[in-house]
């Protein structure tokens, strides 16, 4: 603790100190801390200025007792892609910190009878004020209704709109994949391969449907397709199959960046230069796309920004402020070094 005049500064400052210096009641300071609208703008500004000057940090426990909240939100996921998860967690944390909240991440199974109960058990144990649910967990049938039944605010992220959640953030993955197909054909490619994602996942279904439909419409031909599971190893296995085909594709679209890296590895092992002999395009716009050589042309999913949007929406719901229930995000195609016209 330090002193400024007769005032304590730092960890030992109490709400009473703030009230005394601002010449208001402790109740008024409490209202400002808890975001109550029952304080006029001038008084609110004065109190916030004193809080900053004294370095006052409200007790999370005291705030919880006063408001009936835990000041915790949950992030529910089932994603092995640490590059994507890292961006999401940083985006959520930055918004949560600004709101005086902390984030608890929880990995849950999907495709099993216990997945809904696992999420409900997490909500009960952690006492979170709300949750943000990432794909593919958001697509688990019955999850939205189960959360509505227990009254926990939930914002879901997905490639399609899903009924039952308090709000949805939908990324247009079908449209983004269609733009990949149009770009490939515009480069001059006609023999095209696709490494799709797990068939049961909505994201993989949307990317595949958008790509194949636009490829046919643009005049391209799918000469080979292999399903992966979004892992590097599955990208390698799919590329071995596609690059062994006759005719061999001159361009391959992989449904995520990690599988695209597997395609580039196999191409190199066969003496094929990317993009001179083979165009490779990914999906995610992750850090990996910039790290590999050549840098990967890819669809960018701005997961950090999307996480912040979802968090702001969730905090509005928790505070009972007006908010949109359907947020939509377009995904741009980032042209880099792995795409070029086909070999002459």
CA 84, 298, 191, 237 torsion-angle sign: negative
Q: How far apart are the first and last CA of the chain?
A: 73
Question: Residue 161: left (phi > 0), alpha (psi -120 to 50), or beta?
Answer: beta
Q: Is 227 exposed, middle or buried (0-12, 13-18, 19+ CB in 10 A)?
A: middle
Same domain, 185 and 251: yes
Place of tokens 């949307």: 206
| Structure confidence at residue 191 (pLDDT) | 97
φ/ψ of 195, rounded to 5, equals -105, 105
d(CA 217, CA 208): 14
| Structure confidence at residue 7 (pLDDT) | 47
| Structure confidence at residue 65 (pLDDT) | 57
Q: How far is CA 102 from CA 93, 126, 163, 313, in A?
A: 7, 12, 27, 16
Same domain, 142 and 157: yes
Any domain includes 337? no
Same domain, 24 and 118: no
Counting as low any pLDDT under 50, the low residues of the chain are 1-7, 9
Same domain, 90 and 63: no
Same domain, 186 and 275: yes
At 237, which CATH number?
Answer: 3.40.50.2300
Any domain includes 344? no
Strand, helix or coil at 50? helix
Evaluate if pTM is beyond 0.85.
no
Nearest in space to 180 (alpha carbons), one of 216, 211, 218: 211
Any domain includes 341? no
Any domain includes 338? no
Any domain includes 245? yes
Q: How far is CA 301 from CA 55, 78, 87, 334, in A?
A: 38, 17, 10, 10
Strand, helix or coil at 132? strand
Same domain, 247 and 165: no
Any domain includes 334? no
Any domain includes 336? no
User: How many domains is the chain partitioned into structurally?
Assistant: 3
Is-contact 22 51, C-beta < 8 A? no
Domain termination site, one of 20, 50, 67? 67
Same domain, 311 and 234: no
Same domain, 127 and 95: yes
Same domain, 254 and 238: yes
Domain termination site, one of 44, 67, 90? 67
| Structure confidence at residue 6 (pLDDT) | 45
Domain termination site, one of 67, 97, 115? 67
At 62, which CATH number?
Answer: 1.10.260.40
Any domain includes 100? yes
Same domain, 144 and 232: no
Query: Using one digit for the tens of pLDDT, what is the confidence trace for 253-275?
Result: 999 999 999 999 999 999 999 99
| Structure confidence at residue 114 (pLDDT) | 64
For residue 98, what are the domain limits? 72-172+303-329
| Structure confidence at residue 67 (pLDDT) | 63
107-113 long-range contacts, Cβ below 8 Å, gap at least 24? 107/77, 107/78, 108/76, 108/77, 108/78, 108/137, 109/78, 110/78, 110/136, 110/137, 110/139, 110/140, 111/140, 111/200
Same domain, 309 and 294: no
3-state DSSP: the chain helix, strand, coil percent, rounded to 5? Answer: 45, 20, 35
Q: How far is CA 71 from CA 38, 65, 158, in A?
A: 21, 11, 25
Same domain, 90 and 209: no
């Amino acid at each position: 603790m330090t002193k400024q005049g007769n005032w304590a500064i730092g960890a030992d400052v109490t709400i009473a100190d703030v009230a005394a210096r601002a010449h208001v009641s402790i109740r008024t300071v409490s209202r400002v801390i808890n975001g109550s609208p029952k304080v006029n703008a001038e008084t609110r500004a004065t109190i916030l200025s004193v809080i900053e000057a004294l370095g006052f940090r409200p007790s999370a426990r005291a705030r919880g007792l006063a408001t009936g909240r835990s000041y915790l939100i949950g992030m529910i996921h089932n994603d092995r892609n640490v590059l994507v998860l890292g961006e999401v967690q940083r985006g959520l944390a930055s918004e949560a910190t600004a709101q005086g909240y902390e984030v608890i991440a929880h990995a849950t199974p999907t495709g099993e009878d216990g997945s809904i109960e696992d999420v409900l058990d997490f909500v009960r144990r952690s006492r979170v004020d709300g949750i943000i649910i990432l794909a593919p967990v958001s697509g688990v049938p019955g999850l939205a209704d189960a959360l509505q039944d227990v009254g926990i605010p939930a914002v879901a992220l997905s490639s399609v709109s899903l009924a039952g959640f308090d709000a949805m953030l939908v990324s247009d993955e079908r449209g983004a994949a269609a733009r990949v197909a149009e770009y490939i054909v515009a480069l001059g490619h006609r023999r095209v391969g696709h490494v799709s994602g797990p068939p049961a996942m909505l994201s993989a279904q949307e990317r595949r449907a958008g790509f194949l439909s636009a490829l046919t419409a643009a005049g391209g031909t799918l000469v080979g397709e292999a399903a992966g599971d979004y892992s590097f190893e599955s990208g390698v296995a799919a590329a071995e199959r596609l690059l062994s085909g006759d005719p061999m594709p001159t361009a391959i679209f992989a449904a995520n960046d990690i599988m695209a890296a597997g395609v580039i590895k196999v191409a190199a092992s066969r003496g094929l230069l990317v993009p001179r002999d083979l165009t490779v395009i990914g999906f995610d716009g992750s850090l990996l796309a910039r790290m590999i050589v050549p840098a990967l042309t890819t669809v960018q999913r701005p997961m950090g920004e999307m996480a912040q949007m979802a968090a702001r929406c969730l905090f509005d719901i928790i505070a009972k402020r007006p908010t949109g229930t359907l947020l939509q995000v377009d995904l741009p195609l980032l042209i880099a070094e792995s795409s070029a016209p086909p070999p002459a």
